């Protein structure tokens, strides 16, 4: 799990259950993106909640989820 600790002491990460984040203090969990199907049955990863682009379309949902994770790790963390 990658974590970005900012100068004000806040921490950013992609939420997972690898670590119990409650030990860091009060949590504020917010959605960083939306992986949704298109009308044609493909998938997009909309990363606009953190100022990112819309990625895709992808044939498989798993491909959209992977692209979402990669973008967030490279550009947001």
User: Which pTM does this prediction carry?
Assistant: 0.83
Across the range 49-72, mean pLDDT stands at: 97
**pLDDT, tens digit, 9 for 90 and up, residues 4-56:** 999 998 889 998 888 898 888 888 888 889 999 999 999 999 999 999 999 99
* Domain range list for the chain: 3-76
Q: Which of 54, 49, 13, 6 is nearest to 31 (CA)?
A: 49
The dihedrals phi and psi of 55, each to the nearest 5 degrees, come to -100, 145
Question: Which tokens in the block code for residue 55?
Answer: 């990625």
Q: From the CB of residue 74, how many other CB atoms can be counted at a distance below 10 Å?
A: 8
Kind plus residue range of the DSSP H or E element containing 66: helix 61-71
């Amino acid at each position: 799990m990658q974590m970005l600790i900012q100068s004000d002491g806040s921490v950013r990460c992609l939420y997972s259950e690898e670590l119990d984040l409650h030990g860091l203090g009060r949590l504020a969990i917010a959605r960083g993106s939306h992986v949704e199907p298109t009308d044609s049955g493909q998938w997009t990863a909309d990363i606009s909640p953190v100022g990112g682009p819309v990625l895709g379309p992808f044939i498989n949902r798993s491909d959209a989820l992977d692209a979402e994770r990669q973008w967030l790790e490279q550009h947001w963390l």
